[in-house]
Structures are given as structure tokens and as C-alpha cells.
């Protein structure tokens, strides 16, 4: 591919960067290199896209794939999931982590059945009004399932924009108003191209412009990248948040849930006490699961996954 002159891209400080010079090379790269993922196939439908978006939050694709396939085989439509107790969603979530996402997806499915006749709504505002659906997920479903024009800002896209346009190694820890404005500015005008751009920038961040070892030699916009033009400076902002797990309450919660997922009958407190030696942390983790609605306490010191 012929490189576009770096002078064609406005300086990183420009308030209105022109995304047009980026669109074609990134979308062409995506057309040639995109992974064949089940939620990208036409048969996935809007429900398959929504399920994938819930599962992929903070979870890598290779861990999501088997759970996604099992989930769609069991619950091919929102009404199928809504007909089951929420605890079954938690059980089927397995070890994907952050299991509150399972409850939120179950709640969204119930709302889709009740408000939209069982079909995932096309309207962005209606998507945003579903329980458990935030700004990112509503935009992603509207864009990827229905080909609409919305800025889709996940961690990968934010990193691509931070480097290519902002000249920074990493984006801020939390999404800012400036990032949202930039994403809207870079969005192609027509809906099909905008939807393709959203998917392409996400894939570019996942496969090439990665957090730790970006493969700039494979990047279709390396010649246009403001961060490379600046000499690839090291991150000088606030420390980036780590993803610790061992010894945390998250680990204890996971162990407790694993016991409850493994049986359809209530589990006594004594059984749960065996999963972690430190009683204060174990009790705190169990209380948190109950507070989050992931575990239901019963009389007699018994616990189960929630039925309502």
C-alpha cells in the first residue's frame, strides 16, 4: 500500500483532525486481516452481537469463544435467557470473570422480551435504556449489529486514537470528553463506512497497536501516526491501573461462585468455608456476592445462585 504523506495529517494539537486520510488504509487493512469471529457473522444477529459485547468486556477473545458458543446454543434469543432464573446465567458464565455481567445480560434480555417483543432494539436510545447497557455497549450493538453511525470507544480504539492522533502512548485511565469529541470528529459521514471504521479501529488495537508491544511494521497508518512522528515517547501521565488477581477478594469470590455453580442444590456455609482460609476476607467476599445479587442466602446457613 502506498503510504500517505505524514503532512496530510493535522498536528496532534489540531482541534479538528481530519480522519478521512485514516479511514481507507485502516478499513482496507481490516478487510484483509480481520479475524473470523462468530459474532461478526451475519447469522449472529443483534442478540449474538450483544452477548459478545457483554462477554468481551475485560476478557480476551480466546476465553470468550467457548462460553459464547455454549450460551448461544442454549439461549439463541433474549426470551430464551429471560425465561430462566438469573442464577442460570451466572452458572453458564463459568470462569469468564466479573460475573455481574451475567446478571446484567439476563436483565437486558428480560427487558427486551417485555419492552421490544423479544427483538434487540435498533434505536440507540432504546438500547441505552436497557438495564446493564451503557454508552459503549449501546453504540457497539447499534454499530456492529445494525450498521449505524456511532463512535465506539473501547480500550483498543482509545489507544489507537491516542497514538495515531494524540501522539501519546496511552489514553487516560478513564474516557474523557475530549476523547469522545475526537471519536465523533474521526467518524466517517456515511453509516456503512462508519460502522466498518468502528470495527476496524477496534481490531487494529487488538492485533497491531497493542498496549505493550505495538507492531508498527504491520500498521497501515504507521506513516501517519503522531506518536511515531514524536519519537514514540514513553507514557508520562498517571500510573496505569494493573489487573491484580491472586489473593484479592475477586479471587475469593470466584472460588465461592465455583462451588455454587457446581451444584443445583443449596450449599451449606461449612462447604463455602473450605474454599479460603482467611475468615474475614472470605466473609467479606461472600457478603459482596450477596449484595451484588449473585448469591442468595437461605435459612439454615445455606446459599444458592439466585432464582429471581
- Residues with catalytic annotation? 53
The cell for 192 is: 456503512
Instruction: Tell how far CA 43 is from the center of its chain.
Output: 21
CA distances from 152 to 184, 219, 225, 266 (A): 9, 20, 20, 42
In contact, 143 and 194? CB cutoff 8 Å: yes
The cell for 243 is: 489487573
**124 vs 234: CA distance, rounded Å:** 38
Three-point CA angle 103, 106, 112, nearest 5°: 145
Number of H helices, E strands in the chain: 15, 3
Residue tagged 496532534 (cell numbers): 12
- Indicate the DSSP class of residue 297: E
The cell for 288 is: 459482596
In contact, 294 and 100? CB cutoff 8 Å: yes
Largest CA distance in the chain: 72
**143 vs 60: CA distance, rounded Å:** 21
Instruction: Tell how far CA 284 is from the center of its chain.
Output: 27
Q: How many Cα atoms occupy the beta-carbon half-sphere of 3 within 13 Å? A: 11
Amino acid at each position: 500500500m502506498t503510504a500517505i504523506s505524514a503532512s496530510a495529517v493535522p498536528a496532534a494539537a489540531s482541534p479538528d483532525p481530519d480522519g478521512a486520510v485514516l479511514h481507507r488504509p485502516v478499513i482496507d487493512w481490516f478487510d484483509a486481516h480481520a479475524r473470523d469471529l462468530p459474532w461478526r457473522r451475519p447469522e449472529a444477529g443483534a442478540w449474538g452481537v450483544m452477548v459478545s459485547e457483554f462477554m468481551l468486556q475485560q476478557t480476551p477473545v480466546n476465553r470468550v469463544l467457548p462460553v459464547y458458543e455454549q450460551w448461544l446454543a442454549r439461549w439463541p434469543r433474549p426470551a430464551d435467557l429471560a425465561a430462566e432464573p438469573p442464577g442460570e446465567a451466572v452458572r453458564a458464565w463459568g470462569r469468564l470473570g466479573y460475573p455481574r455481567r451475567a446478571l446484567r445480560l439476563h436483565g437486558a434480555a428480560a427487558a427486551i422480551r417485555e419492552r421490544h417483543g423479544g427483538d434487540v432494539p435498533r434505536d440507540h436510545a432504546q438500547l441505552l435504556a436497557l438495564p446493564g447497557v451503557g454508552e459503549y455497549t449501546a453504540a457497539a450493538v447499534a454499530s456492529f449489529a445494525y450498521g449505524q453511525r456511532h463512535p465506539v470507544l473501547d480500550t483498543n480504539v482509545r489507544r489507537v486514537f491516542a497514538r495515531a492522533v494524540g501522539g501519546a502512548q496511552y489514553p487516560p485511565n478513564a474516557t474523557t470528553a475530549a476523547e469522545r469529541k475526537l471519536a465523533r470528529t474521526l467518524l466517517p459521514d456515511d453509516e456503512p463506512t462508519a460502522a466498518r471504521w468502528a470495527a476496524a479501529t477496534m481490531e487494529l488495537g487488538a492485533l497491531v497497536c497493542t498496549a505493550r508491544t505495538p507492531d508498527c511494521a504491520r500498521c497501515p497508518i504507521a506513516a501517519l501516526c503522531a506518536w511515531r512522528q514524536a519519537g514514540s515517547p514513553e507514557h508520562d501521565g498517571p500510573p496505569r491501573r494493573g489487573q491484580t488477581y491472586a489473593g484479592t477478594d475477586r479471587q475469593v469470590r470466584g472460588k465461592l461462585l465455583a462451588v455454587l455453580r457446581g451444584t443445583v442444590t443449596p450449599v451449606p456455609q461449612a462447604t463455602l468455608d473450605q474454599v479460603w482460609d482467611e475468615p474475614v476476607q472470605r466473609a467479606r467476599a461472600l457478603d459482596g456476592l450477596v449484595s451484588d445479587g449473585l448469591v442468595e442466602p437461605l435459612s439454615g446457613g445455606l446459599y444458592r445462585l439466585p432464582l429471581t
